[in-house]
Amino acid sequence: MRVFAGYLGLLGVLGLVAALLVTGAPRLANGYADDGLRHDVRALPYQVRDLTFTASVYSTEGPDAAAAAGVLDRFRTRLPGPLPSLVGQQWFAGRIGPKDLDVSGEAPALRGLCRPELPLRGQAGIEREMRMVQGRWPASTGGVEAVLSREAAGILGLGVGTVVVLTGRGIDRGSVPIRIVGLYEPIDPAAPSWDAIRIAEVPCPDPGAGTTHRAPLLTDLPGLTGAARRLGVTYEWRYRVDEERTTTADIPEVLAAVGASRRTPPESGLVLATGLDTAVARFDAQLRAVRALLAVVQAGILATLSGLVVLAAGLAVQRRREEFTLLRARGAAAVQVGARTLREAVGVLPVAVLAGWLLGRTLPGRPAGAEPLGVALVAAGTTLAIPLLAVLSQRRTGFVGRRQDLVRHRPSARRLTAELFVLLLAVLGVVLLHRRGLSQASGVDPYLVSVPVLLAVAAALLALRLVPWPLRQLGRLTARARTVVPFVGLARAGRSAPVTVGPLAVLVVAIATGVFTSVVTSTVAEARDRVTDQEVGADARIVGSYSVRETADRLGTLPGVGAVSPLAFEVGQPLRSPSPNLLGGRDLGQVQVLVVDGPSLARVVATSGVDVDLPPTLTRPGRLDGPVPALVSPEVAAAVGAGAVTEVQGRRYEFRVDRVASGFPGVAVDSRRFVVLPWQAMPVPEFQPIRPNQFLVAGDGFSVDALTATVDSAQREYLAGVVGQPVEEARPQTPVSVSTWPEHRRSLERSGVNALLSFAFGTGVVGATALALLAVGFAVLAEAPGRGRVLSRLRTMGLSPGQGRGLLVYELVPLLGVAVLTGGVVGAALPRLLGPALGLAGFTGGVPARIHLDPLLAVGVLLLVVVALGMALGVESLFNRRMRLGEVLRLGEEN
């Protein structure tokens, strides 16, 4: 053990790294996946996130609110597992309105055509989460009493003592007077208890009248019961799954439990309203795809590590070949030779694997279920590597040494069969991947995720079978030169290619894994850039309510703004076939309509530098009297044919299809039915102009707050002029929001699985680079003794130390170049070869994934070659100093 401590230490380091990878990588991956699930669940609106059971009661004999609140715990315990243990918070509430409910009263805000919506709501325990700022909490005995938030009271002009009359719109019309007895403030306005109680802006029944507000009136449970006997009531039992108690391992059980609750609620008559199962299932589909990619990366790294373990064990056995031969000559069996090396390995290698396991356990995250089995396999593999290779090498004992680097070295039929079998497995795996895909609902298929490794190994075997012939031709050319270094180096490279197939195959797998990961990374990044270019369309996109077109000029005067283009974006507009009077025509469904100012949009696109295509017919100035040219989506083009009629802000416009495209700046990538019209070409009358509600801004260094304030002021002024209100009281229906290109780009990486995706990519690039350099070191060590003897002989003939290093360069550069080129080609071709089986479209933001090669990747590969050569020279120099070239000729001398 002391004499061969270097080989045992090298195997111990490899075992430690393998155990760390088997233990730590799944923990980190599970941690990222769990955090992503919690992030996505936390971001869901309460209508989607919570399990809400509802029951509508319209008779006077229904249960009162207090009795309905008393079954909240009982319903939770009846939920299928594991939901009862995952529920963190629960609420009971009853609501009346706002649907089919009229509001009236003596207060000025309760008169007119656009009255506020004041639904009545009772929620158990809500009084403990508020502070009364005026009046008191309701005590409904003789009549129904309620409280209102101070914010809503200030906006609506209602106060303590105001009486609100709620009247149903059904056949049995009933009226209930509600007296406001207090004003409150939430202690924590962001608490989930207030999700359904917050004040909100809603459109008036008459769209021209602007917007109004919805402000729930809170009453006690007796008051809710009294009002329900006249107006009916809808009871809600709401349960919130605590995301901190949930992990990705619970996803199958949670999906099954939610489905069972929808089919069989805790009590007959209840209806479950939730979107949790849909959101979790969507996350689970992305998670399976990411885990499949991570499995491919891990398979490549584990295969490289396994190859390095075999190479290290092979070097140790080769170094002790004379010792084993002597033992066999003295009567030892091959098994006894293996047992001798096993006793040495048992004292070191399991301890190293245990250290890697303990180190991996310190990493954050949830352990994988197969962690103990993986660690046991690593320990067994590293410990038994040297004994097994020692036994195999001594099955046939040879007492006469022979050279392994002969030019006419021919592989055996058994070896050729094994190589052909590897090639067949790789081709078959590609076929199965195209049929089944990489991500399976049942989990990760070990064979399918190892297909990239098999392809890399097959390519390495094929390349290293072909490389000796061109090297021999180069050797014949260099034989005519006066210097001996190129000839000897190339001759040794051609002879040792079959011998060094192991180290170089490992190097090919490592480089292919790293290049594959880099290509996938750049492909996803480039697709997300395209998504941002389309959905933002400029350096910034401003969305709000209607304002005047001159708002673009006001924005253009702000510091840092280079160009501005107004847009009018309408959703749900009718689409009809053309008719003589524009009133008839066949209904063709609804579309999104985007009206763009073509010339200013072209300036914005040119200034911001986004990669989008603008048809000349949309950017050409000038007004047209007939149908205007339009860009439409493929679905719209298939429906309308040559042209159609649509509506923009209450007026019909006829268009003809000029261009068909699947996307356009300012339109979401998942939009399937849209029409883009050129503003400057449309026959817009002066008495009914088109009002913009979006703006695209190009520039650098502008203030987002200034953009928001300018557009907010403009749309308030416009709304105030329409409804005849003071500007300070005008409240547009849509608040102003500004999306910048960098912020939108970052938002595409904030979904739950992206942290795990980044971890997979980072692991692949870093791990493959480190292991590739280690494989180069093994390639040098594999032929170091033979190279040392050659150097010793040539030194006696006057070879200088510099020429000795040049000899190593000439010997390694061809093989290293072939390995790097083969691994790079395989890694770059894998995304195209596997195609849709990788499932990259789930991470690109909605656009098809186009394989993208980053130019920096070629620079990185060249840098890797340079670093590898430098490391090879360092390893060779260290080996020569340790072995002392003068003694090499006496060590294992061969004739």
Q: Span 654-664, mean pLDDT? A: 90
Question: What is the mean pLDDT of the segment spanning 549-578?
Answer: 89
The pLDDT, as a whole number, for residue 492 is 65
Answer yes or no: is pLDDT of 871 > 80: no
Smallest CA-to-CA distance from 457 within 414, 495, 427, 499 is with: 427
Choice between 876 and 8, residue whose per-residue pLDDT is larger: 8
**pLDDT for the residue numbered 260:** 93
Q: DSSP per residue over 725-762, as a string?
A: --GGG---SS--EEEEHHHHHHHTT-STTHHHHHHHHH
Which pLDDT score is estimated for 341? 86
**More confident of the two residues 22 and 169:** 22
Is the pLDDT at 217 greater than 70? The verdict is yes
- How confident is the model at residue 500, as a pLDDT? 58
> 411: pLDDT confidence band, cut at 50, 70 and 90?
low
Q: E strands within 615-730? A: 628-632, 643-648, 651-660, 674-678, 694-699
* DSSP secondary structure letter of residue 123: E
State yes or no: pLDDT of 8 exceeds 90. Answer: no
442 vs 166 pLDDT, higher one: 166
* 36, 374 contact by CB (below 8 A): no
Residue scoring higher pLDDT (380 or 332): 380
Among the ranges given (323-337, 425-439, 616-630, 792-806), the one the predictor scored with the smallest mean pLDDT: 792-806
Q: Does 892 have pLDDT greater than 50? A: no
At a CB cut-off of 8 Å and minimum separation 6, what does 705 contact? Answer: none
Query: Which pLDDT tens digit goes with each residue over 85-140?
Result: 999 999 999 999 888 888 888 887 787 777 888 999 999 999 999 999 999 999 98
* Range 407-430 average pLDDT: 79
pLDDT band at 51 (very low <50, low <70, confident <90, very high): very high
Q: 875 to each of 320, 510, 786, 808, 848, how far by Cα in Å?
A: 20, 19, 15, 11, 46
Average pLDDT score over residue span 48-55:
92
pLDDT tens-digit map of 542-555: 998 888 888 899 99
Which distant-in-sequence residues (6+ apart) come within 8 Å of 118 by Cβ? 97, 98, 103, 164, 166, 178, 214, 215, 216, 217
Instruction: State the chain's mean pLDDT as an integer.
Output: 82
pLDDT band with cut points at 50, 70 and 90 for residue 890: very low
Q: In sequence order, what DSSP letters do the residues of 424-465 get, joined into one string?
A: HHHHHHHHHHHHH-S-BTTB--HHHHTHHHHHHHHHHHHHHH
Range of lowest pLDDT (147-151, 201-205, 235-239, 763-767)? 201-205
Q: In the prediction, which pLDDT does 442 show?
A: 63
Q: Using pLDDT thresholds of 50, 70 and 90, give the confidence band for residue 891.
A: very low
Judged against a pLDDT cut of 80, whether residue 795 lies above it is answered with no
pLDDT attached to residue 170: 65
- Answer whether residue 209 shows pLDDT above 70: no
Q: Tens digit of pLDDT for each residue in 707-761? A: 999 998 888 888 777 766 666 666 676 788 999 999 988 888 776 677 788 888 7
| Region 278-304 average pLDDT | 86
Sign of CA dihedral 680, 682, 685, 690: negative
What is the rounded average pLDDT of the residues 823-834? 85
Q: What is the mean pLDDT of residues 32-49?
A: 89
- Segment 398-411 shows an average pLDDT of 52
Which pLDDT belongs to residue 238?
A: 94
The predicted structure's pLDDT at residue 784: 64
- Residue 103's SS3 state is strand
Over residues 448-461, mean pLDDT: 86
Which of these ranges, 42-46, 326-330, 678-682, has the smallest mean pLDDT?
326-330
**Residue 894 banded pLDDT, cuts 50, 70, 90:** very low
Q: For residues 340 and 37, what is the distance between their CA atoms, to the nearest angstrom?
A: 52
Q: What is the mean pLDDT of residues 641-652?
A: 86
Give me the mean pLDDT over the 323-327 stretch: 84
The answer for residues whose C-beta is within 8 angstroms of residue 383's C-beta and 6 or more apart is 342, 345, 346, 349, 350, 353
pTM of the model: 0.78
